[in-house]
Amino acid sequence: MKGIEILPLTGVPEIRPGDDLAGLISRSTRHWLRAGDILVVTHKIISKAEGRIVDLDTVEPSALAKRFAAEHGKDPRQIEVVLRESRRIVRMDRGVIISETHHGFVCANAGVDASNVPGTESVCLLPVDPDASARRLRERISELTNFDLPVIVSDSFGRAWRFGITDVAVGVAGMASLADYRGGKDPHGNSLEASVLAVADELAAAAELVMGKTDGVPVAIIRGYDYERVAGSGKDLLMPPERDMFR
């Protein structure tokens, strides 16, 4: 029975700005990596290695940030960082900000996150370009291990209408983010119209199952999934604005 395995990478130390993430992952995995494996890396350790951490003491909140924070018992400096990371506010209500980030992701708090950041006075941002982060990691790991592995950078997003967060792919390198069955037929000869599968999001969600929130597992290896070999991009997972009914 050919299935898929999802393997956690444990023992990754706390990552600091400038750390060599590719070297660290390569050293930890090289004895058991296999051709065909996919690497899923939580954005948090990439953001940390890339120095995407903001010391809240350096942030001067705007009047809007101060007002919203006061109304909802939030830290005005953290709200200010969320506003700066946004290019469009979708909802700003009940203490929650749903916005579109400069990358085009629609998510809560523009991906700004205070959990798993050392010290309560700093927050972690999304990488500037998660696809580029995925590409760099993939290229360097390929040099170090001789394995040409796709890399997915993941983050936890909320969803409209559904409770709870799930991990999605914010950056992708070395594989197709989507599996497009449009134009195909099912075994009964019916067209598969609505069948573009967001497989990179499903792989990120699967990886989360071995990561957990508190266990210090920032990397998972997915083995046995037959991906499509292309350059890839997390941007393929964004709803084109002209088709977006929930802007």
**Residue 28: CB partners within 8 Å, gap ≥ 6?**
9, 11, 12, 219
> How big is the chain, counted in residues?
247
Spatial distance between the Cα atoms of 164 and 143, rounded to a whole number of angstroms: 38
Near a copy of itself by CB under 8 A: residue from 70, 91, 146, 228: 91
The least CB distance from residue 23 to a copy of itself, in Å, is 20
Near a copy of itself by CB under 8 A: residue from 37, 206, 218, 219: 206
Near a copy of itself by CB under 8 A: residue from 55, 71, 193, 228: 193
Near a copy of itself by CB under 8 A: residue from 151, 203, 218, 233: 203
The least CB distance from residue 47 to a copy of itself, in Å, is 15
The least CB distance from residue 184 to a copy of itself, in Å, is 6
Near a copy of itself by CB under 8 A: residue from 30, 128, 191, 228: 191
Near a copy of itself by CB under 8 A: residue from 70, 128, 209, 231: 209
Contact between 181 and a copy of itself (CB under 8 A)?
yes
Q: Which stretch binds a copy of itself (CB under 8 A): 48-56, 57-65, 132-140, 201-209?
A: 201-209
- The smaller minimum CB distance to a copy of itself, of residues 139 and 158, is found at 158
Residue 152 bridge partners (DSSP)? 40, 172
Q: What angle do CA 121, 125, 131 make, to 5 degrees?
A: 160
**In this structure, are residues 184 and 206 in contact, taking their beta carbons and an 8 Å threshold?**
no
Contact between 187 and a copy of itself (CB under 8 A)?
yes
Near a copy of itself by CB under 8 A: residue from 7, 64, 89, 144: 7
Q: SS3 for 222?
A: strand
The least CB distance from residue 78 to a copy of itself, in Å, is 11
**Residue 97: CB partners within 8 Å, gap ≥ 6?**
68, 79, 82, 83, 86, 89, 91, 108, 109, 110
Contact between 216 and a copy of itself (CB under 8 A)?
yes
- The smaller minimum CB distance to a copy of itself, of residues 4 and 230, is found at 4
Question: Interaction with a copy of itself in 120-179: which residues (CB under 8 A)?
Answer: 120, 156, 158-168, 177-179
Residue pointed to by tokens 């350096």 = 58
Best CA proximity match to 172, nearest among 136, 214, 130, 128: 130
Structure tokens at 121: 């006075």
C-alpha pair distances (Å), 138 with each of 170, 174, 176: 15, 8, 14
